[in-house]
Structure 1
Amino acid sequence: MTKLDHAEGWEHHRRSLRWIDQANEPVLALGRVYPAGLKVETHSHKRTQLWFAQRGIVLVTTEEGRWMIPPGHALVIPAGAQHSAEMISLVEMQSIYVDVVPRHAPRPRVVEVTALAQNLIDALVQVDTKPASEHRLSLITDLLLDEFAALPERPLGLPFPGDPRLAGLCRRFLKSPSATASIDEWAAEMRIGRRTFTRLFRAETGVSFVTWRQQACLFASLPRLAEGEPVTNVALDAGYENIAAFSTMFRRMLGRAPSTYLKAGSS
């Protein structure tokens, strides 16, 4: 996978945009490693994009809002949708671009990338270094298109504020999430009143501070669970007093226990 610096990253992206719009293949695949802090300017594609961060965290901004995508998941960006991206950390990215008629409303949505989909995307990304026969490529492409349509949607898009001061607090929180962070603490840091803060937060993100805090804690827990860390450690580091409280929040948001979520997703 190609590793790029800031200047190379944007220039590579421009060349990729031209290639995506001009190619005739039913499915296109790209793999890149982008440095932390790289910003990709607002653009769109003629195809639907599956923006998959294998590692790292990316912030994608669309007309629908701002989305932070955790490892193991992807943002489906409809064809024609204007969007930009910022790498919050070093990001290993894989993207596929497809000509499909969406089953869902034409809006961005976060999906879980199944093990099968990831393997198929890997195979397409590696074609440049590991050439495959036309027959094999056709089989991979057909199966990927079928799997793409069935990727499960997950409520993991984390709304992100545009206000610079509030965005700074959110970025800091993501580096060290805590279930005990309070409205009063954040309001004090911004030197505004509690009611002003709560109105601003909802206006900027579309959700309450408490809901955002829960989503952010869940967001931060996923890569650690994926790496096999004990649920107890993850729960305590997130500020929960016990596993039960963490598991209750996890079940309410994702419909299953933290001990089974990623096992099921990677089977």
Structure 2
Amino acid sequence: MCRMQAKPSPLIDPARADADGGPLLFAALSAGDMRHTPTHSHARGQAIGALSGLLTIGTERERLVVPPGYAIWMPPHHPHGLDAHGPTSGWSVYVAPDACAALPALPQVFQVSGLLREAVLRASAWPLAPAPASAQERIVAVILDELAAAAREQLVLTMPTDRRALKIALALAADPADARSLNEWAEWAAIAPRTLTRRFAEETGLSFTDWRQRARLMRAVELLAAGQAVTAVALELGYDSLSAFIAMFRREMGVAPGGFAAAHAAALALP
């Protein structure tokens, strides 16, 4: 094990992350302003948790949003880049390849349980001199069990691979408020509506309607974390009814947008 290092991104040099260093390696994420980490990959799997601020992670086909209290899992050898949107703090756990067998094969966002948070904090505080092997093994087992049991949240947006469907997806990701119907989008991209419906379902795992709602949800999380008022966010995302936006957000996130924004602000205020 290694002590958590309080320094900005990149968290751990990829060569060091790939080296043999026990089942888990730990690092801290600390950014005082917006920061971009270019696309990279490593042989270890990686869990990145946000304590304050907002992180977004991009891969070849996914975009993931990580608000405070959440984390992402990135499988081994999966290229990804990271953006910190303003002052951000968090943690990262690098998991050795042979310990990743029971962990997800695809990137995912999950809510950090109290047990996982405390286990990571305990392990990251170990002195440089190794703790008794049995104590380390028990904490490592807890962390791996919690990562394996974490439920996937609705903050992952998978892009289609069909060039016409991808053209539509990129336009909607840039402007989730665009209210054009499926038929109008299909005509714009020169694709049959039925083919468009099938491509989104097969290549993203979501219907066109659900994909567009996911894009709106993820933009809402970003805007709320940036301090925008709930009403302003609803209007920017194209909702005619504030109550409809609140109902969507609560259904997907388990909390009203105002409660999410308040929790985010409270996390930023922590020392």
- Please give the TM-score of this superposition, normalised by the length of structure 2: 0.66
Distance 1:44 1:194, change over 3 A: same
- CA RMSD for the aligned pairs? 4.2
Shift of 1:240: 0.5
Q: Which residue of 2 aligns with 1:34?
A: 36
Distance 1:162 1:86, change over 3 A: farther
Distance 1:101 1:85, change over 3 A: closer
Determine the C-alpha separation between the residues in 1 that align with 2:175 and 2:202: 24
Shift of 1:18: 2.1
Provide Cα deviations, 1:36-70, integer angstroms capped at 9, x if missing partner.
xx544xx552x331145865633224xxxx33111
Distance 1:165 1:152, change over 3 A: same
- Larger mean CA deviation between 199-208 and 106-115 belongs to 106-115
AA aligned opposite 1:16: D
2:252 counterpart of 1:259: no
2:65 paired residue among 62, 70, 73: 70
AA aligned opposite 2:183: D
CA contact (8 A) 1:39 1:87 kept: yes
Shift of 1:251: 2.1
Determine the C-alpha separation between the residues in 2 that align with 1:220 and 1:136: 44
- Larger mean CA deviation between 148-157 and 229-238 belongs to 148-157
Q: Which residue of 1 aligns with 2:111?
A: 112
- Count of residues paired in the alignment: 236
Provide Cα deviations, 1:142-161, integer angstroms capped at 9, x if missing partner.
98996783776422111212
**Structure 1 residue matching 2:63: 3-state secondary structure:** strand
Determine the C-alpha separation between the residues in 2 that align with 1:197 and 1:223: 28
CA contact (8 A) 1:69 1:158 kept: yes
Determine the C-alpha separation between the residues in 2 that align with 1:264 and 1:174: 25
2:15 counterpart of 1:18: yes
Q: Which residue of 1 aligns with 2:177?
A: 178
Distance 1:88 1:186, change over 3 A: farther
AA aligned opposite 1:134: P
Q: Which residue of 2 aligns with 1:98?
A: 95
**Structure 2 residue matching 1:57: 3-state secondary structure:** strand
Determine the C-alpha separation between the residues in 1 that align with 2:127 and 2:260: 36
Distance 1:197 1:19, change over 3 A: same
Determine the C-alpha separation between the residues in 1 that align with 2:229 and 2:140: 33
Determine the C-alpha separation between the residues in 2 that align with 1:205 and 1:88: 23
Shift of 1:176: 2.0
CA contact (8 A) 1:179 1:240 kept: no
Q: Which residue of 2 aligns with 1:7?
A: none
Runs of 5+ unmatched residues, structure 1: 4-11, 125-131
Shift of 1:221: 0.6
Q: Which residue of 2 aligns with 1:84?
A: 79
Provide Cα deviations, 1:151-181, integer angstroms capped at 9, x if missing partner.
7642211121223443333233222211634
Distance 1:89 1:193, change over 3 A: farther
Runs of 5+ unmatched residues, structure 2: 1-6
Determine the C-alpha separation between the residues in 1 that align with 2:113 and 2:235: 28
Distance 1:101 1:56, change over 3 A: closer
- Please give the TM-score of this superposition, normalised by the length of structure 1: 0.67
Provide Cα deviations, 1:85-113, integer angstroms capped at 9, x if missing partner.
25689898964313567876555321235
AA aligned opposite 1:244: S
Determine the C-alpha separation between the residues in 1 that align with 2:139 and 2:233: 36
Q: Which residue of 1 aligns with 2:243?
A: 244
AA aligned opposite 1:29: A
2:133 counterpart of 1:134: no
Distance 1:209 1:24, change over 3 A: same
2:45 counterpart of 1:48: yes
**Structure 2 residue matching 1:162: 3-state secondary structure:** coil
Distance 1:220 1:137, change over 3 A: farther
CA contact (8 A) 1:58 1:88 kept: yes
